Structure 1
């Protein structure tokens, strides 16, 4: 099967600055196997050549001067490749132009969140039109699948929930990396400090303010507790905005008990996860999936998270972590913290269960889920074509 993947444009593939969509494209496309020809369309950037052949994939890079010119360049190249299936990443509004040029090719839209189908980005009327044009949609959780079925009235058999994956190897190798000790020293951490760890963008939806307010309660009962916050306002961005200033104000009374670390590239994150004892993801919005939970679990760390969106499909309460409503964090976080440090071997046992759970989410399984969806679309189109031929 000749598979064409269209990246939305803001970053290149493989990602230089850790963008999640481009990261997913890179990882899953490696797992389609040599029997499939994979072409990835993405934007140019100073780090990579204009186009290249990497790990069994043709990666074609075009300048990004807005979605229209970018898609036009992609369509021009697609015509000479005659793909068997086209996968559009996170941009449903690309579908009409692609369908006009490729009327018989199965077209799928991989929706990484609800954002680019929201009415502020695309009108409900246009979205309904796109639903008719596309052969199917892929989501990264059952929660998001149900959202698209209910919100956009997509037929259930047209939406496929396929969980994202994780490669546990770099996260496990980081455990024996001597760089962990140096990193702790660099951050001013003592050997007996107890570290709560946050990784992600510094935005209200991620609930970092919820974590800071609850952590103040933890500090009242545990003088060894410290919080490390890794991330910036965006992928590769460390600019100060009103929300980040608010977070610093919340942390100020705690002094050196809270340490802010700027954005860290994804390839360095396995090492950073190892400085934490417990990882917190206090999301207050409906997370489609929340990759950080999976990365933390791949690192063998217990997770304290919220029941928002698709998180419950990954983290099991009181098994691989704790799933607590954001409203309960100020009350529950001190109790959970005390439990994790006072009960012998609890953190270690929960970390082991988290690792076992993470291993169930492989990129190979993700790729197989995509291929199954593509094959359904191709089979359906073949049946329709055969029926028209028979009638004719």
Structure 2
């Protein structure tokens, strides 16, 4: 099977600045069986200035100066190298252009969140056209699948939930890496400090303000507690916007008990997760999947998160972690923190369960999920053609 995958365009594949959709494309396609030919359309950048071949993956790179010229270049290349299937990553609007040029090639849309299908990005009328024209949708959680089914009346058989994966190996290797102690010292942590760890973008939807307000109460009862916040306003950006200023203001009364660390590239994150004893992801929006939880669990860290969106499909409450509604963090986090340190075996056991749970989410399983959907679509089309009456 020849599969063409169209990345959104603003970031490169493989990612340089840690962008999540591009990371997912890279990891899933690595695991696709070698008999399949994969063409990945993505952007040129300083790190990847040219197109390249890596085993059965062909990276075709173009300058990105907006969606329209980007898609024009891709369509020109597709005309010469017609694939069996096209998968558009997280940009349903691209389907409308593609189907004008390739009406007979099945096109799928792989949605990573609800954002790029929202009315502020694409009109409801255009989104309804996308639903009619696509062969099907893929989502990274059952929550997101149900959301799209309800929001756009997508038939159940036309939309498929395929969870993302994680490679636990680099996170487990990082546990014994000699630089972890050095890293803790650089950040200003002492061996006796008990660290609550956050990784991700600094945006209101991620609930970092909820975490800071709750941690203030934790620190009042535990003088050894420290909060480390790793991330910037965007992928590769450490801009000081109004929300970051608000976070700094919330953290100021806590002094050196809160440590802000700027954006860290994804390749270095396995080491940074080792800094924490417990990982917090206080999402206040309907998070589709939350890959940070899976990475934390791959590190063997208990996760404290929220029951929003698809998070509960990954984090098992009172198993691999604890799920607290955002409004209850300030009242419940101090008590949970105290129990975890008063009875360390609970924290250790939860970390073990987290690792076992993470092992259930492999990139191979993700790749096989995608391939299964594509194969079913092609078989259905083949059967339909065979059943059509022959001319004459």
So what's the TM-score if we normalise by structure 2? 0.99
Indicate the residue corresponding to 2:362 in structure 1: 362
Q: Which residue of 2 aligns with 1:68?
A: 68
For 1:129, the equivalent position in structure 2 comes to 129
Structure 1 residue 199 corresponds to structure 2 residue 208: no
Q: Distance in 2 between matches of 1:228 and 1:34?
A: 41
**How many residues align structurally?**
392
Alpha-carbon separation, structure 1, partners of 2:81 and 2:226? 54
Helix, strand or coil for the counterpart of 1:287? Answer: coil
Check conservation: 1:30, 1:55, Cα contact below 8 A. no
Structure-2 change in CA distance of 1:227 and 1:102 (3 Å): same
Report which stretch shifted further, 190-199 or 42-51.
Answer: 42-51
Distance 1:129 1:255, change over 3 A: same
Distance 1:30 1:125, change over 3 A: same
Superposed CA deviations along residues 217-256 of structure 1, whole A, max 9, x for unmatched, are 0011000000000000000000001100000000000000
Match of 2:195, SS state, is strand
The answer for the alignment partner of 2:302 in structure 1 is 302
Alpha-carbon distance in 1 for matches of 2:115, 2:9: 16
What is the alpha-carbon distance in structure 2 between the residues aligned to residue 18 and residue 344 of structure 1?
33
1:19-45 deviations in Å (ceiling 9; x for gaps): 000000000011111110000000110
Deviation of residue 136 (structure 1)?
0.4
Residue 391 of structure 1 and its aligned partner are, at CA, apart by 7.5
1:43 aligns with 2:16: no
* Number of the residue aligned with 2:242: 242
Separation (CA, whole Å) in 1 of partners of 2:131 and 2:390: 27
**1:179-199, Cα deviation, whole Å (9 max, x unpaired):** 001001101111000000000
What are the ranges of 5 or more consecutive residues in structure 2 without an aligned counterpart? none
Q: Partners of 2:387 and 2:11 in 1: how far apart?
A: 42
1:149 Cα shift?
A: 0.2
Structure 2 contact 143–288 (Cα < 8 Å) conserved: yes
Q: Does residue 340 of structure 2 align to residue 334 of structure 1?
A: no
Structure 1: distance between partners of 2:235 and 2:341? 33
Q: Which residue of 1 aligns with 2:146?
A: 146
The reply on whether 1:163 has 2:125 as its aligned counterpart is: no
Q: Is the 8 A contact 2:99 2:133 kept in 1?
A: yes
* Residue correspondence of structure 1 range 96-111 to structure 2 within 5 A: 96-111=96-111
Q: Equivalent residue of 1:32, what SS? A: coil
2:379 alignment counterpart = 379
Contact 1:106 1:381 in 2 (8 A): no
Secondary structure of 1:345 counterpart? helix
Q: Deviations over 1:61-109 (max 9, x none)?
A: 0011211111111011111112010000011111122112222211100
Structure 2 residue matching 1:322: 3-state secondary structure = strand
Q: Secondary structure at the match of 2:388?
A: helix
- 1:217 corresponds to 2:217: yes
Change (3 A) 1:62 1:343: same
SS in 2 for 1:176: coil
Q: Name the counterpart of 2:263.
A: 263
Alpha-carbon distance between aligned partners in 1 of 2:92 and 2:388, rounded to the nearest angstrom:
28
* Residue 87 (structure 1) aligns with: 87
Deviation at 1:385, TM superposition (A): 2.2
CA contact (8 A) 1:301 1:354 kept: yes
Distance change in 2, residues 1:391/1:384 (3 Å)? farther
Alignment correspondent of 1:5: 5
**Is the CA contact 1:287–1:310 (under 8 Å) kept in the aligned structure 2?**
yes
> Which moves more between the two structures, 49-58 or 187-196?
49-58
1:383 deviation in Å?
A: 2.5
Partner residue in 2 for 1:15: 15
Q: How many Å apart are 1:154 and its aligned residue?
A: 0.7
How far residue 384 of structure 1 moved from its aligned partner, in angstroms, is 2.5
Q: Is the 8 A contact 1:315 1:321 kept in 2?
A: yes
Superimposed CA distance per residue, residues 260-295 of structure 1 (whole angstroms, 9 cap, x where no aligned partner): 000000000000000100000000000000000000
- The alignment status of 1:284 with 2:277, answered yes or no, reads no
**Distance in 1 between residues matched to 2:184 and 2:42, nearest whole Å:** 37
2:228–2:259 CA contact under 8 A, matched in 1: yes
